[in-house]
């Protein structure tokens, strides 16, 4: 058994345990393997172990890696694996000059962190004749070092954002601050869930089904507070 397989089994076990401890169905939580800096070969190996959702932080890296992965999957025998399409998630900040590429490359964007970016993404998606699933990134901790809407800014902007017809808004995303113990992050995750619930009450026509929160050091705490997507890199692929 490879280290990758051992790591993946352990992460899946921890997700299952955290979900069951919270009275939740583990199947309601999507594992996104954050693959930044790791090779296409490593991603193909993860695919062969059952990973179907991959997260990238930089459009420039994804421009090279996504075609490499596609070519490798086409050239290896996958008869023992279901022919399930990969889903590529953009989980990092998007520079405005990279909006066009991001819309073409990714199936899901977690990091819509401003009204201006939302507008650009919608315009580009319109040009591509598609609606792109997105999450609104919230700087729930208020740290100056983090991207995302401040809570009140999002509430002030949400009516205009919801008018953007080529964005399929599916929920919220956040990054918790680095804390000594994972449970210390729970108030931040709880605050995002409560904000999602507030938006769901105000705009019941949208499902607001996803909360993308929790990474290697705190994903169990995030699951306890309602995460539906966890973004895990190091615990799967090892140190960068």
The CATH code of the domain that includes 151 is 3.20.20.10
What is the pLDDT, as a whole number, of residue 182? 84
In this prediction, residues 9-31 reach a mean pLDDT of: 98
Dist. CA 77–CA 75, nearest whole Å: 7
Instruction: Kindly report, residue by residue over 45-57, the tens digit of the pLDDT.
Output: 999 999 999 999 9
pTM: 0.95
User: Any idea which of 74-88, 101-115, 133-147, 225-239 has the lowest mean pLDDT?
Assistant: 74-88
Task: Indicate the number of domains in the chain.
Answer: 1
Judge residue 35's burial from the number of C-beta atoms within 10 Å of its C-beta, 0-12 exposed, 13-18 middle, 19 or more buried: buried
Q: How far apart are CA 59 and CA 93, in angstroms?
A: 9
Provide the residue count of the chain.
Answer: 240
3-state secondary structure of 142: coil
Print the domain residue range for 208. 3-237
Mean pLDDT on 178-201: 94
CA distance 34 to 36: 6
What residue has token string 């998630």? 89
């Amino acid at each position: 058994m490879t280290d990758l397989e051992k790591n993946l089994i352990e992460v899946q076990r921890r997700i299952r345990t955290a979900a069951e401890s919270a009275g939740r169905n583990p199947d309601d939580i999507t594992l996104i393997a954050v693959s930044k800096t790791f090779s296409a070969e490593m991603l193909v190996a993860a695919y062969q172990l059952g990973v179907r959702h991959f997260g990238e932080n930089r459009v420039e890296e994804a421009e090279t890696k996504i075609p490499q992965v596609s070519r490798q999957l086409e050239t290896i025998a996958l008869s023992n694996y279901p022919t399930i399409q990969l889903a590529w998630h953009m989980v990092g900040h998007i520079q405005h000059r990279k909006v066009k590429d991001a819309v073409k490359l990714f199936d899901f964007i977690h990091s819509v962190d401003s009204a201006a970016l939302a507008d650009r993404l919608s315009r580009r998606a319109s040009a591509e004749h598609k609606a792109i699933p997105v999450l609104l990134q919230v700087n729930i901790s208020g740290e100056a070092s983090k991207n995302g809407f401040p809570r009140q800014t999002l509430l002030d902007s949400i009516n205009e954002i919801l008018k953007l017809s080529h964005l399929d808004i599916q929920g919220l995303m956040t990054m918790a601050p680095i804390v000594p113990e994972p449970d210390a992050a729970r108030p931040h995750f709880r605050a995002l869930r409560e904000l999602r619930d507030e938006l769901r009450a105000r705009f019941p026509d949208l499902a607001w089904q996803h909360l993308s929160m929790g990474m290697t050091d705190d994903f169990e705490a995030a699951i306890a507070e309602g995460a539906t997507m966890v973004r895990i890199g190091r615990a799967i692929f090892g140190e960068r």
